[in-house]
Amino acid sequence: MRSVTYSMNVSLDGYVVGPDGDFDWTTPDEEIFRFFTDEIREVGVHLLGRRLYETMLYWETADQDPSLDDSMLEWAAIWKPLPKVVFSTTLSEVQGNARLASGGLAEEIERLRAEPGEGHIAIGGATLAAEAAALGLIDEYRATVHPVLVGGGIPFFAQRELRVDLELVESRTFSSRVVHLRYRVAR
């Protein structure tokens, strides 16, 4: 059965986006960008909330941008065909290899877990991940922690009274002082 992972960049004080909506502090250097490219190769389907979907729309046509280097073109070549499921109450259509969720989050994940296929089910977006966490649907948490305090914004973890015990699976410190932490939910 496919596992469900939640992976996002996060500030040391726990936010994926700062109070002003900015996340420029997450811009990856070459080393981290290669790591993210390798990580996305392991994804079989990506679940996104509306905000993250709209942010990632750039990559649907990025291969037409003459200013992109080879590593960014490689990312675009992996991202574009990747199946995506978008959860939104305001969008009526989506672009590329994406579809709007036809059911609730639990229903979609149950259906995707039962389908044959390679790669894990990735969840992107803090709001969507908070819902999945509250339902006990996340198997792994992957936090790429940046050495910055942003002081507020959208938290990586929802403030819910839910204890989840985790087991460290992997940690990596990049030359930029960014630290990647990968935890499996202890069941």
Please, are residues 182 and 169 in contact by the beta-carbon 8 Å criterion?
yes
pLDDT of 102 reads: 85
Residue holding tokens 């819910």? 160
pLDDT of 187 reads: 87
Is the pTM value of this prediction over 0.85?
yes
Domain that holds residue 29: 4-185
29: left (phi over 0), alpha (psi -120 to 50) or beta: beta
pLDDT of 159 reads: 62
Residue holding tokens 């070549």? 77
pLDDT of 163 reads: 86
CA separation for the pair 137, 49 (Å, rounded): 16
Cβ-based neighbour number of residue 27 at 10 Å: 10
Output the 3-class SS for 96-119. CCEEECCCCHHHHHHHHHHCCCCC
Residue 121, beta-bridge partner list: 4, 45
pLDDT of 128 reads: 93
pLDDT of 53 reads: 94
pLDDT of 181 reads: 98
pLDDT of 143 reads: 96
Q: What is the DSSP letter of 31?
A: H
CA separation for the pair 180, 60 (Å, rounded): 26
| Total domains in the fold of the chain | 1
User: How many helices (H) does the chain have, and how many strands (E)?
Assistant: 6, 10
Residue 157, beta-bridge partner list: none
What CATH number is attached to the domain comprising 34? 3.40.430.10
Please say whether the dihedral angle defined by the alpha carbons of residues 178, 128, 105 and 164, taken in this order, is positive or negative. Answer: positive
**Successive 10-residue mean pLDDT values, the chain, 187 residues:** 94 95 93 96 95 92 91 94 95 94 93 91 93 94 97 86 91 98 95
